[in-house]
Structure 1
Amino acid sequence: MEEGCEGAGEGEGWRAARGSQCRAAPGRASLTRALRNHGRACELMGALVWWLAGCCLVHAVAAGNPDAKRLYDDLLSNYNKLVRPVVNTTDVLRVCIKLKLSQLIDVNLKNQIMTTNLWVEQSWYDYKLRWEPREYGGVHMLHVPSDHIWRPDIVLYNNADGNFEVTLATKATIYHQGLVEWKPPAIYKSSCEIDVEYFPFDEQTCVLKFGSWTYDGFKVDLRHMDEQAGSNVVSVGVDLSEFYMSVEWDILEVPAVRNEKFYTCCDEPYLDITFNITMRRKTLFYTVNIIIPCMGISFLTVLTFYLPSDSGEKVNNKCLFKFIGGLFFINKI
């Protein structure tokens, strides 16, 4: 009985302690909820601070150069980008063009296609985009989306991909005299006649023929930016200052020629600028990986004929060299 009373006493004490813990649990839950609510409040406060900072920044940018915004509105509010920017319809608009070769990506011998990464630099004067800088807080130039103004439809005639025009319409730079400069990047795939008679010691010349698809020579006078008066040939027609060296080709010369062509359908001339890219193949790779192995296999095959006819190694060596040669050519294919 004493043992039972002692056990009963221990049970009562345990239930009392358990009850005190249960009574303390709501206090901890309240504290947890309070901390959670405090964290949410801090997050909301942080988001509000960032939102206010962003609004202030946008307001500062918008209000930082009101003259440029006013100039943009004045120039393009009633601007018609579909009309050629000339005072009289009979006036000829001169458009200057130049290429900057960034990378010679690929020269496909089988399909006869050259892939290049180019900057197509173009410039012309638009009389509707002139202004007096002192009337607009000294703003001398303005960057505008190129699809908001008139642009010459300069395309690559010998395109082999289907995208004749520039696909990325970057912003154009307008100067207060009315000069417009547009330098969009583009990756072109152009057809190229490739002669592999002297492969791998060959030189290839691929052309890039640019011209207006719509306007004839009486509407748009297409010129090279570096063209001298009285000459239609530019010895260095492609800018190579940003060119990444190719591992397979060396660029030898890049002249440009201005051509006038008359078609049977029309009396007006159509102008184009043809850029000739002459390149020479780097032969070290092919010499080490093709020519030397072929010469080695051929030399060893000839040596087998000097072995005695009754030698068993003669047939084995011939079979081995033929097998090695077959594996080599299959690997190259």
Structure 2
Amino acid sequence: SPGSPSIIADRGLCAESEERLLKWLLSRERYNKLIRPVSLAQLISFFHFHLSLYRNYKTEQIMITNVWLTQNWVDYRLSWEPSDFDGIDKLRIPSRHIWLPDIVLYNNADGIYEVTVFTNAIVLSNGTIFWLPPAIYKSACKIEVKHFPYDQQNCTLKFRSWTYDHTEVDVVLRTGVASMDDFTPSGEWDILALPGRHTFSGSEPIYVDVTYDFLIKRNPLFYTINLIIPCVLITSLAVLVFYLPSDCGEKISLCVSVLLALTVFLLLISKIVPPTSLDVPLIGKYLMFTMVLVTFSIVTSVCVLNVHHRSPSTHTMPPWVKALFLVWLPALLCIRHPQNNSARQRLRQRRQQSWGLQKTKEASPGMDNPEWVGPDPGMASSPSSSPFLLSTGSYYLRKR
């Protein structure tokens, strides 16, 4: 078309102008990337900083954060008049060819302080530079495990210039909070807040710090379903040990099974929670206390089974055992004696008859071979049938 040649010509002119502008800006006589961009030594380079969170992970006391660092500053040496270069007011320059503030993550945990990719920097005609590099940082984070898995953590990202103090480079926060517009939610952690603050180091020389606080909360649903509920259910089985009859033979087996299950849960918690001796999780304390109680129940069950399987032919009951289990404990536990009237009457009759027989023997010492007889003189009984006769009525002795 008639307009196509002019468009191609304009694009070619623009490319030539950008090339000419880039050579002029980065010429050795005019620009040195090792020099801080100030016209006087007493001036401060103001560096604006902003953090955008993309993704966040948590491992053993290390927070892995995928962020975008928005940085901008003014370099007067990279300014030009747009009219001299065909109206070009914006230029993209590889960041390795210009001066960059040496901002690093101060509380780094893996020794990699640089950003992931040195992207191009956007340079405006007035010398303002925008640089937006992505970075994956691993920062040290102290984990509070006391309320696991219903815990909240406060991790920080502290950024500081590695060599420039506050008299040379001043870091200014663009906003008071980090941006979460491009954040990818995590299934394990919820971010409550991302405040940022501007601080100074306490020792000389004084450095400017920019610190972002990551207030995060753990999602407890996974651990509640797979850890807390099974642990509570298995623990409740330990109470049923005392309801099992001693003859079933499963009291000790149930106690040992519960103890082994609690040991497995304790090992799982030790693998999930970061190894630290500063604090012990409440669920760990609960499991240890429950294991002590289950161990005590095993000892108690052994004692119960030992007493249960004793018999008069093998053991003699001491008097203190009778007093403890037949007098003191029933009264303490509000346990009454069996209310079986027929059994009590038979016991009372046997006692009366035994007492009467003893009195009769004392009153008739000359009777050598007494014979039990009933109310009817015609009904006589031999001595071998006397126990039956004693339980049916009143009888007297007759000498043969």
TM-score (norm 2): 0.61
Shift of 1:165: 2.5
Q: 1:311 aligns with which of 248, 253, 270?
A: 248
- 3-state DSSP of counterpart to 2:224: helix
Shift of 1:293: 0.8
Provide the residue aligned with 2:34 in structure 1.
82
Q: 2:57 aligns with which of 97, 102, 105?
A: 105
Which residue identity lines up with residue 290 of structure 1 in the other structure?
L
Provide the residue aligned with 1:284 in structure 2.
221
Query: 2 CA distance for matches of 1:61 and 1:322?
Result: 79
Query: 2 CA distance for matches of 1:217 and 1:270?
Result: 5
Shift of 1:167: 4.0
Query: 1 CA distance for matches of 2:116 and 2:170?
Result: 23
Per-residue displacement from partner, 1:151-197 (whole Å, max 9, x unpaired)? 00001111111112224211111111111011111111111122111
Provide the residue aligned with 2:129 in structure 1.
180
The alpha-carbon distance between structure 1 residues 66 and 327, as it changes in their structure 2 partners (threshold 3 A), is: same
Which residue identity lines up with residue 196 of structure 1 in the other structure?
V
Query: 1 CA distance for matches of 2:262 and 2:11?
Result: 69
The residue correspondences of 1:94-133 to structure 2 (distance < 5 A) are: 94-108=46-60, 112-133=61-82
Query: 2 CA distance for matches of 1:101 and 1:324?
Result: 41
Identity of aligned residues (%): 44
Provide the residue aligned with 1:136 in structure 2.
85
Report the more deviating stretch, 273-282 or 192-201: 192-201
Which residue identity lines up with residue 217 of structure 2 in the other structure?
R
- 3-state DSSP of counterpart to 1:239: coil
Which residue identity lines up with residue 220 of structure 2 in the other structure?
T
Shift of 1:270: 1.3
* Unaligned stretches of 5+ residues in structure 2: 1-9, 272-400
Per-residue displacement from partner, 1:132-151 (whole Å, max 9, x unpaired)? 22222222211111010000
Query: 1 CA distance for matches of 2:71 and 2:195?
Result: 18
Considering only CA atoms, is the larger Rg found in Structure 1 or Structure 2? Answer: 2
> In the alignment, does 2:206 pair up with 1:257?
no
Shift of 1:310: 1.8
Per-residue displacement from partner, 1:65-86 (whole Å, max 9, x unpaired)? 2111111111112220000011
Query: 1 CA distance for matches of 2:202 and 2:239?
Result: 61
The alpha-carbon distance between structure 1 residues 197 and 329, as it changes in their structure 2 partners (threshold 3 A), is: closer
Shift of 1:89: 1.2
Which residue identity lines up with residue 187 of structure 1 in the other structure?
I
Provide the residue aligned with 2:280 in structure 1.
none
In angstroms, what is the RMSD of aligned CA positions?
Answer: 2.0
Which residue identity lines up with residue 235 of structure 2 in the other structure?
S
> In the alignment, does 2:157 pair up with 1:240?
no
Query: 2 CA distance for matches of 1:98 and 1:212?
Result: 15
- 3-state DSSP of counterpart to 1:207: strand
Shift of 1:326: 4.2
Which residue identity lines up with residue 99 of structure 1 in the other structure?
L
- 3-state DSSP of counterpart to 1:193: coil
Q: 1:215 aligns with which of 144, 156, 164?
A: 164
Shift of 1:262: 4.0
Provide the residue aligned with 2:232 in structure 1.
295
> In the alignment, does 2:21 pair up with 1:71?
yes
**Do 2:54 and 2:182's aligned partners in 1 also have CA atoms closer than 8 Å?**
yes
Provide the residue aligned with 2:311 in structure 1.
none
Provide the residue aligned with 1:321 in structure 2.
258
Per-residue displacement from partner, 1:31-75 (whole Å, max 9, x unpaired)? xxxxxxxxxxxxxxxxxxxxxxxxxxxxx9977621111111111
Query: 1 CA distance for matches of 2:126 and 2:200?
Result: 30
Per-residue displacement from partner, 1:266-323 (whole Å, max 9, x unpaired)? 4xx3111111111111111111111001001101222232111221233333344344
Which residue identity lines up with residue 71 of structure 1 in the other structure?
L
Q: How many residues align?
A: 259
Q: Which gives a bigger RCO, structure 1 or 2 (Cα 8 Å, sep 6+)? A: 1
Provide the residue aligned with 2:210 in structure 1.
273
**Do 2:14 and 2:86's aligned partners in 1 also have CA atoms closer than 8 Å?**
no
Provide the residue aligned with 1:14 in structure 2.
none
Structure 1 stretches of 4+ with a deviation exceeding 6 A read 60-64
Shift of 1:129: 0.7
- 3-state DSSP of counterpart to 2:247: coil
> In the alignment, does 2:165 pair up with 1:165?
no
Shift of 1:328: 4.8
- 3-state DSSP of counterpart to 2:246: coil
Per-residue displacement from partner, 1:215-256 (whole Å, max 9, x unpaired)? 111111111112xxxxxxx2x2x1111111011111011111
